[in-house]
Amino acid sequence: MNYRKASLILLMLSNATLCHAALDRAQLQQIQQAVEQLLRTQTAGLPGKVSFVLGDIDTRLNLPACPAPEAFIPPGVRLWGNTSVGIRCSGGNPWTVYVTVSVRVMSGVVIAARSLTQGHVIELADLSVQEADLGQLPGAVIADPAQAVGRIVTLSLAPGQPLRQDLLRSPPVIQQGQSVTLRSQGSGFRVSAEGRALSNAAEGQVAQVRTPSGQTVSGIARAGAIVDMR
């Protein structure tokens, strides 16, 4: 093989390598764009300010070219904190890969402004609002102080601790032994009767009531010592 032919072959191999590298970069960018678009769409309704960072994608992956890779959220995955997003390609050479992502959702959350003991009825002065990353907090945190005022602490809280729905309970609107009004209504009729509550019940909870005849019935507790019969 003469020098000229050898040079030509080397040039062709070099061009092929460059084209392959360019294809890899284009495919990597395609995957990143699909993931970013999914994240923007799926986090649009989250409270506060959302930002995200994609993890590194293994460039050693040998993936067949895909005209339109599809990003998806794996079952059971939430787009908060450190998580992952899937990318798949359908067609004759299907493949699926996963990309790690870090999603930050910065929003105001309600925290205890001072120590709150178990059984304490929350007042507005007990609360403060602080910005935090929701992805680093347990679920059911409270964002609006109005959702906590008047409720009862079920577990003592330290200053600065976020308030969660499962750490609070609503005050009872029906007290055990209290005289209540049983109310039943339907199409064209409304009936009421007296009874005595057999248990405490908060607004919307089921209350057990004994009627004057000794019968035990149940209904939904309402403010004003009312139990709506089911």
Instruction: For the chain, list residues with pLDDT below 70.
Output: 1-24
Note the CATH number of domain 107-169.
3.90.1210.10
Tell me what percent of the chain is helix, strand and coil, each rounded to the nearest 5. Answer: 25, 40, 40
Write down the pTM of the prediction: 0.59
DSSP state, residue 65: P
Q: Residue 100 and residue 84: Cα distance in Å, rounded?
A: 4
Question: Measuring CA to CA, which residue among 216, 213, 211 is closest to residue 180?
Answer: 211
Tokens of 208: 């057990």
Q: List where CATH 2.30.30.760 sits in the chain.
A: 172-229
pLDDT digits (tens, 9 = 90+) for 86-106: 999 887 888 898 999 998 889
Given CATH 2.30.30.760, say whether it is the number of domain 172-229. yes
Q: List where CATH 3.90.1210.10 sits in the chain.
A: 107-169
Residue 168, pLDDT score: 93
Four-CA torsion 66, 72, 76, 79, nearest 10 degrees: 130
Residue 123, pLDDT score: 95
For residue 197, the tally of other CB atoms under 10 A from its CB is 21
